[in-house]
Chains A and B, each alone.
Chain A
Amino acid sequence: SSELTQDPAVSVALGQTVRITCQGDSLRGSFAGWYQQKPGQAPVLVMYGKNNRPSGIPARFSGSKSGNTASLTITGAQAADEADYYCNSRDSSGNQYVFGSGTKVTVL
């Protein structure tokens, strides 16, 4: 299956830690990319590969993968982290890419 499953929504208290997961068969052979999207804006890459943060992304974001599940962790969540988060992967042929269903993160 080429689907990636994410929890629809999670909430986290300000300053606490939240983990967002992404599960799918394609992740057995592929690392995930993670994107943050705020209303009315284009997605922003926040994590990719084993645990790579693009320039400008705070160190409170980290990534990991085990088997068919990739995770994005926000340690010490801030109000600015409230957004939708999407994962992506691709198949081994390089010809099919897929996005997860998205997780809405609410910072309380």
Chain B
Amino acid sequence: VQLLQSGAEVRKPAASVIVSCKAPSDTFNRFYLHWVRQAPGQGLEWMGKINPSGGGATYTEKFQGRVTMTRDTSTRTVYMELRSLTSDDTATYFCTREGLVFGGAIVPYFDYWGQGSLVIVSS
């Protein structure tokens, strides 16, 4: 399973950026895809998830109003748009697949990851 992300981007403060993630057919149709970011030297931060087949998305409160996750079913690609960028948004953005769980237990895990897309916000 390969999640292929778009390349590095440089943006000025207040601008927007769109990062893409192309998924194999089975992944696109059956799994949730999530976006996780990592600022330089920092830990992993969950941003939100999208159901590629249905299009519904959920975001963490921190990014509500500033992030939008969408998908294009014709190209099996999901997109993460982040607006009103500041230097704090300089990070590597990862697309990752949530593994399937059978039964009632809550077992959240991410079994495949994209290679990451570096976004640099600088004036």
B101 contacts which chain A residues (CB < 8 A)? 49
Q: Are A99 and B45 in contact (CB under 8 A)?
A: yes
- The interface of chain B, by Cβ under 8 A from chain A, is 34, 36, 43-46, 49, 58, 60, 94, 96, 99, 101, 105-111, 113-116
Stretch at the interface among A13-21, A30-38, A72-80: A30-38
How distant is the Cα of A6 from the Cα of B84 in the complex, in angstroms? 31
Q: Which residues of A contact B43 (CB under 8 A)?
A: 86, 99-102
Nearest CB of A to B17, in Å: 19
A42 with B106, Cβ < 8 A, contacts A48-B99, A95-B58, A97-B49 known: no
Residue contact B106 to A99, C-beta cutoff 8 Å: no
What's the least CB distance linking A19 to chain B, in Å? 19
> Once the chains bind, are B108 and A33 in contact (CB under 8 Å)?
yes
Asked if B109 and A48 make an inter-chain contact with CB atoms under 8 angstroms apart, the answer reads yes
With A42-B116, A49-B105 given, is the CB distance from A98 to B111 under 8 Å? no
Question: Which residue of B36, B46, B96, B107 is within 8 Å of A48 (Cβ)?
Answer: B107
Instruction: Report A42-97 residues with CB < 8 Å from chain B CB.
Output: 42-45, 48-49, 54, 86, 88-90, 92, 94-97
User: Cα distance A31–B58 when bound, in Å?
Assistant: 21
Known: A30-B107, A44-B113. 11 other contacts (CB 8 A): A30-B106, A33-B108, A33-B109, A48-B99, A48-B109, A49-B105, A86-B44, A94-B106, A98-B46, A99-B45, A102-B43
Which residues of A lie under 8 Å from residue B36 when comparing CB positions? 99
| CB<8 Å pairs between A and B, sample of 7 | A33-B107, A42-B115, A44-B113, A48-B99, A88-B110, A89-B106, A94-B106
Q: CB-CB < 8 A to B49: which residues of A?
A: 97
A49 contacts B116, CB within 8 Å?
Answer: no
Assess the A45–B110 pair: CB atoms within 8 A.
Answer: yes
The residues of B that contact A92 with a CB separation of less than 8 Å are 106
Shortest C-beta distance, B4 to chain A (Å), equals 12
B74 to chain A, nearest CB (A): 26
Contacting residues, chain A, for B111 (C-beta < 8 A): 45, 48, 54
